Amino acid sequence: MHIIHIDMDAFFASVEQRDNPELKGRPIAVGGRPESRGVVATASYEARRYGVKSAMPMATALKLCPGLTILPVNHHKYRQVSEAVMDIFRSYTPLIEPISLDEAFLDVRGSEKLFGPAKVIGMAIQKRIKEELQLSASVGIGPNKFIAKLASDYQKPNGFTVIPQDKVLQFLVPLPVNKIWGIGEKTAASLNRVGIKTIGQLRDLPLEFLEGKFGKHGKILYGFARGEDTRPVEPEREVKSVGKEITFAGDIGDMEELRHTLQELAGKVAHRLRQENLKSGSVMLKIKYPDFQLVTRTESLPEPTNLAGPIYRAASQLLAKHCKPPVRLIGVTCGKLTGERQITLFRDEQLVREEKITSALDKLRDRYGEDVVKLASLLKKDRK
């Protein structure tokens, strides 16, 4: 029993409540504004009592909880707090697999001689997060990642659950099937139709039946229903893409406004790439129309970059070729990521100049916030 899963409780909302004492005890949601078709990124536990959930339209959240306080997402602040949490993890083991800003798996097999068994390490981490960061986290400990993840979710918030190997099957039996990774609403509904509502009932199904119904995924479900999971904790998780998108408050038919929005999104994506020391070799444009039809188009870049200019130019060309306004949503995603420095003998002078300017602007943004400096063209858009 050496795998720990730690999940911060209502992370974005809890950070905001910590930093603004007036928000403590009040229902809050971090996310987009309802008039902009925004969604809930995280809801405080006070808001969850009203039925407010992550990924819910903010307009729906307000109907459920009329007194809801809505706060914008502050990625810069959350990343800083997340790094402080990860630093605590690193003081106990190098085998850390971050799943997102607010959760991670830890393999502590090599650390138990120094710090004690997994339970002791988990308690120490939970205590340090509370004392050093004034935040709460839920801890799950089990023989593998699947069980540890279920355990951390079992008694939130501020939960601490240990599931030893000899208690795994007993723990799984009453849980609903949608607690298993990979079982979404459709798969759960499909299982419910044949009378399978709990993991215990799923375990009674033969492997042949599950493979016939779900293909290769059937074998995974068969193993999970028995508490089996051979996946290791992987410290280096490969980032495959970095993207940013926006859903407009009203459908946009003006191509100039769409180009301005793309320019803003390209700048934010490029900044994120630089923060992660990554460069992109391709740009994907994402468009969603008023009838919810989704269109994506991808363009390869001449050379990998993390500058806003080349990313925007590629996205703008795709927009001109493939967009038929009006548009409900638009997004930019950079793929083919690499951390290697590309050596080019004859650099484009414009790109060299942009790199120098971007480096100076990044220092300002890191110190004063992402919106401290804006392009003049974007200021014109704001005035409109």
**Which backbone phi and psi does 85 adopt, to 5 degrees?**
-65, -45
Give me the amino acid identity at 254: D
List the strands of the sheet with 327-335, edge to edge: 242-252, 327-335, 280-288, 294-305
Q: List the catalytic residue out of 46, 103, 264, 370.
A: 103
Catalytic site includes residue 236: no
Q: What distance in Å separates the CA atoms of residue 139 and residue 3, rounded to the nearest whole number?
A: 11
Relative orientation angle of helices 75-90 and 118-133, to the nearest 10 degrees: 140
**What CA–CA distances, in Å, run from 147 to 201, 223, 225, 333?**
18, 12, 11, 33
78 CB-near residues (< 8 Å, 6+ apart): 11, 12, 15, 101
Closest to 1 in 3D by CA, of 107, 154, 158: 107
Provide the phi-psi class of 134: left if phi over 0, else alpha when psi is between -120 and 50, else beta: left
Catalytic annotation, residues = 103
